[in-house]
Amino acid sequence: MNTITASLGHEFAVGAVANAVQGRGLTQPKALGNNPAVAAKQRDDADVLARIAAGDKLAMKVLYARHHVQTYRFLLRLVGDEAHAEDLVSEVFFDVWRNAHQFQGNSRVSTWILAIARFKALSALRRRKDDELDDDQAAAIADTADDPEIAVQKKDRVAIMRQCLSHLSLVHREIIDLAYYQDKPINEVAEILGVPENTVKTRMFHARRRLSELLAQHGIDRTYQ
C-alpha cells in the first residue's frame, strides 16, 4: 500500500467533512441500503463471506480486494502510521478468515470488518499509549521549524484539514472517519463503536464543534468549502 494509493479519496471527502463542520444536512449520514446496486453488493459480500467460512481461499482474495483499501485508510487515520496500518490490515483479514463463520448477517460485511479493524487499532494504541503525546498537548506545541515551503503547504486547505483531523481525539476522529469517509449511517456507526445511536449523535456534534475550532485557528471559518 503506497502513499499515493492510501491518500486516494481523502481529497474527495474533505468537502463532506467541511460541510459537516457547518452542519449542512449531515446530522445523520445518508444510508445506502435502499440503493439496489448497493444492496446487491451487500448480498454478494455476504455470499463471499459464507464461502470463506467454508474454506474457500479464492473467496478470501475477492473479499480482500474489495475491502482492504477502505480498511487501510480507516486504520491509518486511527493509528497515524502507514507501516503499522499495513500490519493491522493483515491482522484484520486474518481474523476475517478465521472467524467468517461468526458473521450473523445483521449488518453489512464492510461494517463487520471495520468493527474488527477498530478493535485492532484500539488495542495497538493502548500498547503504545505511554510513548505518545496527548492530542491536545501535541496541538499546543508550536512548530518553530517552518521553512517557506512548509508555510505555503500549510495554507493549502486540504493539508490544513488533514492536520486538523489529526489533532482530534481518537473518539472524535473515528466518528468523523466512519460517518464522512466511510459513509456509514448512524446505526452502523453505533454498531461498529458498540454505543447507542444517541451517543453517536452526541459525539458527532462535539467532533464537528472541535473540528470547527481547529479550523478557526488556521483562519478558516465556517464558510470553508
- Average model confidence (pLDDT) across the chain: 74
d(CA 177, CA 183): 8
In the chain, the N- to C-terminal Cα span, in Å, equals 29
User: Where are the domains positioned within the chain?
Assistant: 3-217
Contact 178, 13 (CB under 8 A): no
Residue type, 104: Q
Identify the burial level of 144 via C-beta atoms within 10 angstroms of its C-beta, where 0-12 means exposed, 13-18 middle and 19 or more buried.
Answer: exposed
Q: Does domain 3-217 have CATH number 1.10.3470.10?
A: no
Greater confidence, 214 or 40? Answer: 214
- For the residues 8-37, what does the mean pLDDT come to? 45
Per-residue pLDDT for 148 more than 80?
A: no
- The single-letter DSSP state of residue 196 is -
Banded pLDDT at 147 (limits 50, 70, 90): low
Greater confidence, 168 or 127? Answer: 168
d(CA 109, CA 38): 12
Q: Give residue 10's pLDDT.
A: 43
User: For 166, what's the count of Cα atoms within 13 Å in the CB-facing half-sphere?
Assistant: 14
pLDDT, tens digit (0-9, with 9 covering 90-100), for 57-115:
999 999 999 999 999 999 988 888 889 999 999 999 999 999 999 998 888 899 999 99
pLDDT, tens digit (0-9, with 9 covering 90-100), for 184-216:
888 888 888 888 989 999 988 888 888 888 888
Per-residue pLDDT for 15 more than 90?
A: no
- Coil, strand or helix at 134: coil
Q: State how far the alpha carbon of 199 is from the alpha carbons of 32, 64, 195, 205, 217, in Å.
A: 21, 31, 6, 10, 27
